[in-house]
A and B are shown apart, each in its own frame.
Chain A
Amino acid sequence: AQSVSQHNHHVILSEAASLELGCNYSYGGTVNLFWYVQYPGQHLQLLLKYFSGDPLVKGIKGFEAEFIKSKFSFNLRKPSVQWSDTAEYFCAVTLNTGNQFYFGTGTSLTVIP
């Protein structure tokens, strides 16, 4: 079975610090990769996605992610976090053969003003 690992369960940063959240997946074939964010009390929203092409993708609110195929990774980054980035972040993978999304267990980010 496919799996998605997010090793950082809870991250606490001060404002202006840089952020990197790890995401690794287990499937060796062609994948589509996503990062979703869930702000407190809100629904899950798409941050960014990767299907093909440039492995460095940019999303909303200054987030970016880099797909490294050899490492089966799709880490999320932001150079300078803000208090408003406090949220839960989920990495997700789909296979080109189907429409089922596989989600990681999520990383809770707390940004201290």
Chain B
Amino acid sequence: KAGVTQTPRYLIKTRGQQVTLSCSPISGHRSVSWYQQTPGQGLQFLFEYFSETQRNKGNFPGRFSGRQFSNSRSEMNVSTLELGDSALYLCASSAGTGGGNSPLHFGNGTRLTVT
């Protein structure tokens, strides 16, 4: 079974631009979550989608948004980029429908650098 695929692997953007990151989950997984990973902060939860609906949302500004398509693929968008948005963005999929006992399966991440 193919794992979680994230594209692109690396991105360099300028302040004020916007960016879209893509994630293809493991086949059959309907839950997709996004995390921001930075040194010292660990993994900060952005949002989770299940069957095209946002089920949970973290404490990030409205510049961060996402969506999920009918094939469970997900995209994350960040508008008006700031220097502090530089991070590794991780996507994870899960077979869980709720109850919190299905492990997350992570992709390799997209490394975003904002200059």
Contacts and interface: CB of A to CB of B under 8 A. Distances in A.
Contacts of B48: 99-100
B45 interface: yes
A42 B107 CA distance: 9
Contacts of A34: 103
Contacts, number: 74
Contact of A99 (B3, B43, B90, B94): B94
Interface residues of A, number: 25
Contact of B41 (A36, A49, A98, A105): A105
Nearest to A34: B103
A94 B101 CA distance: 7
A56 B25 CA distance: 31
Interface residues of B, number: 31
Interface string B47-86: 0101000011000000000000000000000000000000
Query: Which of A51, A92, A97, A98 has the most C-beta atoms of chain B within 10 angstroms of its own C-beta?
Result: A98
Interface of B: 3-4, 31, 33, 35, 40-43, 45, 48, 50, 55-56, 90, 92, 94, 96-109
